[in-house]
Every structure is written in C-alpha cells, then in structure tokens.
Structure 1
Amino acid sequence: MHEKKSSFLAALFISFLDNFGYSIVFILFAPVVLNPDYGFFSQETSLGTKNIYLGILVGIFPLALFFGAPFWGDVGDFWGRRRALLWTILGTVFGHVMTALAMVVKSFAFLLIARAVAGLFAGNVSIALATISDISKEPKLKARNFGLLTVALGSGWILAMLLGGYLSDPTISSYFSPELPFYVVAALTFVGFLVVKYFFIETHKNYPTVSFDVLKSFHEIKEALKIKEMRPILYVLFFWSMGWFYDFQWFTPISLESYHVTQEKISSYLLVLGISWILGGVFLNPFLVQRFSSRCLSIYTVLLTAVLIFLSLVSKQYFFFGFWFWMSALLAAVTLSNLFNLVALSAPSRVQGKAMGFSQSFQALAGFVVPFLGGAIANVSISWIYPLSFVLLLFSFFLLLRN
C-alpha cells in the first residue's frame, strides 16, 4: 500500500510539473508574438500573419507530442513506468532550456525547434495516467484518482500563471525576463526527475523490448479504433478536447484583440481559471462520482460546458466573458476525469499504458489541429473561434448521447 501511494504521489507531482511547463506558453507566447517590443516580429508584420505564427508556435508542441506519446506509452508497458518517466523528464528539461535560449536570441525558428523537442518528450502525463490505472482497480477509485490528477494539472496551471506573468516582467526587476520562467521550470522538472528516481516504485512488470515507428501514432490510432468499446469514447475525447482547447488556448489572444485588456488582467483571469479547474477536481468530481456513472457525468458536463461557452461568446463585457469561462473550467475538470476513466475501463488491463497513450495521442492531435486551424480562422476573424468551440462541444455531447 505504501509503495502504491509513493508511486501515485510521484505521478501526480510529475503531472503537476508537466502542465506547469506546458501552461506557461499561454501567458507568454501571445504577447511575445503579437507585441513587436519583444523583438520576434516587426511592427510592419500584420496582425493576421502574427496570429498564424502564434498558431504554429502553439501547435508544434502537441504535434510532436502526437508522435511521441504512443512511443512513451509503449516504453512504459514494456520497460516499466519508472524508466519511461526518467527518460521523458530529462528530455523535457532539455526542451525547456532550449526554449529559454531561443527567447534570449529572439529566433522564432529556434523557438519552434525547442517546442518540438519539449513536445516529443512530453509523454509524462500518459505514463502518469497508466500508473494511476495500474494502482486503481475499482472503477470509482479510478474516477477519484483521475480527478486528483486533474487537480495536479490545475495546480500546475495556477503556478504557471503566477510565475509566468511575474518572472517574465522586467519592469518588476531587472533580473526578470521572458526566458526566466523556462529556466525555473527546467530546474523544477529536474527535481521531478529526482523524485521519480528515489520515490517512484514500479507499478508494471517489465517486458524485453520495444520498437519505434515514426508513423506509430497513426498506426496506434487505427488500432485503438478497432477496439469497439473504446472507439466512441476516443471520438468524444478528440472533439471535446478540440472544443475545450479553442476555449483556453485562444483566451489570451481574444482578450488582447477583442477586449483590449492588459496582460496583468489576463493573467489574473487565467489564474482564476486554474482555481476553478481545481475546485472541479477536488470537490465537484469526488461528490458526483459517488452518485453517478462516468458516462452520465460526461454527458451532462459536456452539455453544460457548451452552454457556458455560448454565454461567454455573446458577452459584451470582459468580466462576463471571463466569468462563464471560469464556470466552464469547473465542469471541464469533471469531464476530463471521467473521459479518462471511460477510456481506462474500456481497455484490457494488459494494455493500460497503451490505452492512456491512445488518449494522449487523440488529445495531442486535437491540440495540434486547434492552434493551426485557429490561426487561419483568426487571420480572417478571431470572433469565429468561440462559436466553433461551442459547435465542437455540442457535437461531442451528441456523440456521447448516441453511444
């Protein structure tokens, strides 16, 4: 029991750090690309072109993750969760350091390469999901523990909003700069490496070998869709992820371009978003999973999230735009926990790591499509982003209802 608890807490800590490093970009990259004072793009570059570049910059990470996640899921299944975590953590540290250096030299091409490296090694969450699935045998225990994982992810978001906005502002201190948060997250991630090395107890038996195929993600998705029970849940996860990613990935650009608010105000709103997410994972999800099935919870929370996003997109005042967004985060934490649980329950126990790799591949694919397509849409009109999010969430609701 002590060994399970130790591994579980280590998995939560790594998930916290992983989302901390991932979330920093949402407070930093929009102003870095859109504001010529940061030195990446000149004043002459049009706003539409900058939105396209922003979409590419945000999208390169999940694109690399899409190819890397199934591989690391297999590594966790064949060589053990602990070894896979150690490798991905070291690669993540390297990616964060590269990102910081790219910010120093103000090279957009170098920044793209750095984010690709970070994304390629960002298989931590899928391994953490597999670890939680290994040690959580009962369906309701799985749902509760996946809920705690969403709390760890939300905590990483909050820290990113606090430190990302604060440590990147040179007006506060001459020691602060846009690259400093990435050095900090690299150092903290190395602490995570030490935590896994000394406190993580293997939760899965080892197998002799694993192979790598550059098209493995596509083969894995094809294989996943052959599992009848898993297929509809993965479709739902994909379209729901697209809808939710449009919400939070484009919150900062919409705030800057449509509401013309300050970066400090955006940071505070994103901070409240993280708090709402944690409240959903800590209080709302545990309360609901004791009373309803994961499928039932997913259906109703997806529908209510779509309604809240609709209210957000028709809001004229920035406060209400943010308020409905906060409420949607409360429900989204419940949705994600229970969708993960449904994926785990639909997969054979011998391929839990691969199943969690499937789920992260579908999310990574959604995370790749959203910024690239969003950049093209924003080039025409950024006001179309949230209506598209509403449609995608509504579509995922009907998929859940149908299955």
Structure 2
Amino acid sequence: MKKKNSSILTIFFTVFIDLLGLGIVIPILPALIINPTANLLPFDTAFSQRTIIYGFLIASYPIMQFFGAPLLGTLADRFGRKKILSISLLGTWAGYVLFIIGILTQDIYLLFIGRSIDGFTGGNISIAQSAISDISTPENKSRNFGLVGMAFGLGFVIGPYIGGKLSDPTVVSWFSFETPFYLALLLTTINILLVYAMFPETLKEKSTRKIDLLAGFKNLGKAASHPQMRSIFIIVFLLTIGFNFFTQFFQVFLISKFAFTQSQIGDLFAYMGLWIAVAQGAFLRPLSKKFSPQTILSLSVILLAVTFPLLLLPDKSIWIYVIIPFIAVFQGLTQPNTTAIVSGLSDAKSQGEILGMNQSVASLAQAIPPILAGFLTAVNINLPTLFAAGSTLLAWFVFIFFFKQKKEALVVAPEEV
C-alpha cells in the first residue's frame, strides 16, 4: 500500500509538471508570435504569416511526440516505467533550457528545437497512465485515472496563470517571457529527483517487443485495423482534434476580438483549468460510482460540442467567463473516461503498447489543428472554434452509433464506499 501511494503521488506530480509546462506556453506563445511588439519576428510580419508560424510552432511538440511516445511506451514495457520516465523528464528539462535561450536571443529556430525535443521525449503522460494501470484494479481504475486528470487540470490552472503573470513586466518590473520557464525548469529538476527517490517500479512483467522508430505510423495502422480498438481510437482522434482547435487558437481569438494580454489569457485558461480539476476531482468520482464511462461519455461529449459555438456570441469578454466552466466540466468528464475505456480494452502485458498507440493517435490529432487553424484564422478568427464544435460532434456520433464492441465487458464496476 505504501508503494502504491508513493507511486500515485509521483505520477500525480509528474503529470502536474508536464501539464504545467504545457500550460505555461498557452499565454506566452501567442504573445511572442502574434504581438508585433514582442520583436521575435520582424515588426512588419503580416497577421496571416504570424498565425501560420504560430500554428507550426504549436504543432512541433505533438508532431515529435507522435514519434517519441510509442518508442517510450515500448521501452517502458521492456525496461520498466521508472527508467524511461526519468529519460523523458530529462528531455523536458533540455527542452526548457533551449526554449529559454531562444527567447533570450530572439531565435525562433531555438524555440522550435526546444519544443521538438520536449515533444519527442514527452511521453510522460503515457508512461504515467501505464503505471496507473499497473497498480489499479477494475474497481478503482476510473478513480485513479481521475486523479491523473485532476493533476492535468491543476497543471492547467497554475501553468497559464504562471505563464501570464511571470511574463508580465507590469506585475514585476524584471518579469519577462522567459521567467516562467525558469520556474518550470526548477520544478522539472525536483520531479527528476522525486522519481529517482520515491517512485518504485510498477511493471510486473516485462515485454520482449522490439524497438521500432516507425512505431508511430505502425500504431496508426494498428489502431485503424484493431477490431476492438478501432472505433474508440477514432473517437479519441476526433475528440482530441476538437479540443485542440479550441485550446491552441482561442488565445488568438481573444487577442483579436478583445485585445487580451498574456496575463489576461493566463487568467482565463487558469480559470478553465480550475473547473477541469473540479470536474475530475469532485464530480468524476461520485459519477463513476453510479454510471459507466460509456454512459458519462454519451452525455458529456454532445454537451461539449454544443457549448463551443456559444463562445463566439458575446460582445463583452465577461460572458466568456460564464461559458468556460461548462466547457471545462464536460471536457473534465470526457477525457479520463475515454482513457479508462482504452485501458480497459487492453491486457496487463500490452498496457504500454495500447496506451502508446493511444498517444500516437492523440499526438497526430494534436498536430493537425494548429497547422490548419493557422490558415483558417487568417480567413476568419471564428473558424477554429467552429471546427472544434464540428469535430467533437462527429466524435459523439461515432461513439453512439459505432462503439458497440463488448460494452458490457467494459463497464467499470462501482467502487465500494
């Protein structure tokens, strides 16, 4: 029990730090690229060019994660969760260092390299999910994934807030765009030490699967052809596309329509992250006792889809704060239940492979929206949010009408009080 508790604590902190880093860039990257006064790009760079560059910079992380995550998943199945998790955290550390240097020297190529290295070694979440599966029972799996989801939400609370405030010289005169990343670098160092000192190996039976650098592409082929997993992977793909159209380009909408600063963007996304944490930390557990993941998803996904377009209606930014909690709660219920279903469809030996496959699908889905949205935003700033709604609605349609395989076997038993 003591080992399980220390494992869960370390996993919680690892996911929190990972999402803290992702959260920090939310308000900073659009301010660096879209705002001409940041001086990272030539002042006369057109808005359409800026949105396209911003989109590719955002996409560099998930594109490299597409290649790196399945490789790390296989290595974690062969050599253990602890060793590979440590390697992935070292990559995150190196990525932060290069990103800081890129900001200080106003070298956009170093920003791309830093994000790419962090992305390639950023299999932290898939390894953490494998470790959670190692130590979970069918009765508490949904709850444990909910705790990981809560760490995800907390990272989204603190990350954007830190990114917005610590990069704003009007808060403290010596704050700058690189200041939040110094903190992230320090926390990643602590995380590496924590994994070394407190994280026990959770892998019970090692795999003999060969390492394959093209595993990302092969994972997509497996995901498309797997008879039991095909439909859920399509759902994961569409849901991830939808939510990332929103999270990756809504900042540009806020800057263009309401003239938000990076500090205000950080506040809004921290507010959203708070509601995600509430959903996964407070709502998910009692709901998972009474309802299966399938039942929860059948409602949360459609509600998420119809809420996205409401963000485009207000003329005053205060109404955005009214709508955001609904999006956060519906997403907070959707993500961990989707992961629980994916995990429930795999056996103990293939947890790393299946979750790595899931990460490949998600990474590809994370890479598509920013590239497309960069061009779409140049046409109309409302289009990314509308695409978010459309992709999420399509995911719900596939879930309702095509996800039929062995539903009865996938129902997570209610946890005993």
Provide the TM-score with structure 2 as the length reference.
0.93
Letter in 1 for 2:366: G
Contact 1:76–1:83 under 8 Å retained in 2: yes
Q: Tell me if structure 1 keeps the 8 A contact 2:207–2:349.
A: no
Determine the structure 1 residue equivalent to 2:392.
Answer: 393
Amino acid at match of 1:363: A
Q: Separation in 1 of the partners of 2:224 and 2:4?
A: 31
1:75 shift after superposition: 1.0
**1:231/1:216 Cα in 2 relative to 1: closer, same or farther (>3 Å)?**
same
What's the counterpart of residue 268 of structure 2?
269
Q: Does the alignment pair 1:324 with 2:311? A: no
The amino acid across from 2:115 in the alignment is R
Matches within 5 A, 1:2-401: 2-138=2-138, 140-205=139-204, 207=206, 211-401=210-400
1:364 maps to amino acid: S
TM-superposed deviation, 1:264: 3.1
Aligned equivalents of 1:137 and 1:45: distance in 2? 54
Q: Does the aligned pair in 1 maintain the 2:160–2:265 contact within 8 Å?
A: no
Q: Tell me: CA distance 1:208–1:219, structure 2 relative to 1, closer, same or farther (3 Å).
A: closer
Task: Measure the CA separation in 1 of the matches of 2:288 and 2:353.
Answer: 25
Greater shift, 183-192 or 308-317, is seen at: 308-317
Contact 2:235 2:395 in 1 (8 A): yes
Q: Give the Å deviation of 1:119.
A: 0.5
SS in 2 for 1:335: helix
CA drift of 1:312 comes to 2.0
Tell me the TM-score normalised to structure 1 length: 0.96
In 2, are the aligned partners of 1:143 and 1:341 still within 8 Å (CA)? Answer: yes
| In structure 1, distance between residues paired with 2:264 and 2:186 | 28
For 1:2, give the aligned amino acid: K
Deviation at 1:368, TM superposition (A): 0.4
Shift of 1:30: 0.2
The 2-side partners of 1:66 and 1:274 are apart by 25
Residue 348 of structure 1 deviates from its aligned partner by 2.0
- Give aligned-pair identity as a percent: 30
* CA RMSD, 1 decimal: 1.5
Amino acid at match of 1:299: S
- With 225-234 and 9-18 compared, the bigger mean Cα shift is at 225-234
Shift of 1:284: 1.1
Gaps of 5+ in 2: 404-417
Contact kept in structure 2, 1:13 and 1:152, CA below 8 Å:
yes
SS, match of residue 101 in structure 1: helix
Letter in 2 for 1:358: M
What is the distance in 1 between the residues matched to 2:85 and 2:262?
35
State the shift of 1:108 in Å.
0.9
Q: CA separation of 1:41/1:19 partners in 2, compared to 1, >3 Å: closer, same or farther?
A: same
Report the CA distance between 1:176 and its aligned residue: 1.8
**Aligned AA for 2:89?**
I
CA contact (8 A) 1:277 1:329 kept: yes
Sort the Cα spacing of 1:193 and 1:81 in 2 relative to 1 into closer, same or farther, 3 A. same
Query: What number of residue pairs does the alignment pair up?
Result: 402
Q: Spell out, residue by residue over 1:146-196, the C-alpha distance to the aligned partner (whole angstroms, 9 max, x if none).
A: 111111011111111222112112333343211121121111111001111
Shift of 1:15: 0.4
SS at match of 1:382: coil
The Cα of 1:206 is off from its aligned counterpart by 5.8
Distance in 2 (alpha carbons) for counterparts of 1:205 and 1:261: 50
**Residues in 1 aligned to 2:259 and 2:37: alpha-carbon distance in whole angstroms:** 17
My pick for the range that moved more, 341-350 or 204-213, is 204-213
Change (3 A) 1:386 1:217: same
| Alpha-carbon distance between aligned partners in 1 of 2:42 and 2:135, rounded to the nearest angstrom | 52
